[in-house]
Amino acid sequence: MAQAIPGACFQSLDGEGPVVISVPHGGRAYPPGMTDDLRVPLSAVMALEDRLVDLVGEAARSIEPMLVQSTPRAWIDLNRDERERDPLIDEGARVGARASTKLRSGLGLVPRRVAGHGDIWTRRFGDAEMVARIESDHRPYHQALAERLAATRARYGMAVLLDLHSMPPLGAPGLVPRVVIGDRHGTTAAPRFVRRIEVEARGAGIAITRNAPYAGGYIVERHGDPRRGIHAVQLELDRSLYLDAALEAPGPGFDATVLLVRRILAALATEAMGQPATLAAE
């Protein structure tokens, strides 16, 4: 299991190799007192989690370093710029500072709404409260991730970030993608890494698309810099691939999904190290 970093709200697994795993929406450690500010049941905001995708990542990794956020997305979303503060719930937000589409829809740095339930909070938060969340959760995670990627690039000549997420089912299996790659439309990773992921998914008989409906968020945008040898890809897994019918606990497809992610990690490492696929399999 991942180990908590003293004083930080994330867990870390040390490792080696050119691939680094990030799981920013796997947190389930809801801070004490948070429920006092909710206008909806805690189960409603749990829908914002990438439910148990951290368990997929932990089971799939072999030697790769991995970072997992401990606190939940409802508390603060690491896949948003710290400037994406929602003035409707944040007294310190500056209107127009970074008015993204996600923020306008209620999914800013601290989510305001959750699908099927509407508004989450009973009050607006003070500037000091939000700054405290940024300084204790958001900045340390991104600093640790940046340091890990820099160290990996220094050792191996490049680094590949796999930012692991999950998504609700988009429709009937076979008619819609069940895996989505986000590389910000080709800006955060070289195409060869994206192609390797596509090959593995299609080899497993799983429909996959690029950048639709998810093109990648702030994490790959911030940390991906192919010109400097850091490639970043967001990977969305349909939750029905690895969870039960209620989308709450590991289901019958968990092991197969772990194997798929394991093969993706190996393929990315092989590509980063410049080994031909046939040689790597021997």
User: Would you kindly state where each structural domain of the chain is located, as residue ranges?
Assistant: 2-32+51-77+140-273
**CA–CA distances in Å: residue 158 to residues 18, 216, 229:** 7, 20, 5
262 CB neighbour count, 10 Å cutoff: 17
Name the residue type at position 146.
A
Backbone angles phi, psi at 113, to 5 degrees: -130, 160
**Full pLDDT tens readout for the chain, 282 residues:** 344 344 458 999 999 999 999 999 999 999 989 999 999 999 999 999 999 999 999 999 999 999 999 999 999 999 999 999 999 999 999 876 677 889 999 999 999 999 999 999 999 999 999 999 999 999 999 999 999 999 999 999 999 999 999 999 998 777 799 999 999 999 999 999 999 999 999 999 999 999 999 999 999 999 999 999 999 999 999 999 999 999 999 999 999 999 999 999 999 999 999 854 433 333
Give the separation between CA 66 and CA 126, rounded to whole angstroms.
Answer: 33
**CA–CA distances in Å: residue 1 to residues 32, 163, 200:** 23, 18, 26
Name the residue type at position 226.
P
What pTM, to 2 d.p., does this model score?
A: 0.93
**CATH code for the part of the protein at 2-32+51-77+140-273:** 3.40.630.40
Backbone angles phi, psi at 93, to 5 degrees: -70, 140
Q: Which residues pair with 238 in a beta bridge?
A: 167
> Which H helix or E strand runs over 206?
none
Give the separation between CA 167 and CA 179, rounded to whole angstroms.
Answer: 9
Helices (H), the chain: 42-45, 53-60, 101-104, 127-133, 139-156, 191-203, 218-223, 254-273, 277-281
With contact defined as beta carbons under 8 Å apart, do 135 and 205 qualify? no
Backbone angles phi, psi at 174, to 5 degrees: 95, -20
- Structure confidence at residue 6 (pLDDT): 41
Task: Provide CB contacts within 8 A for 142, sequence distance 6+.
Answer: 78, 219, 222, 223
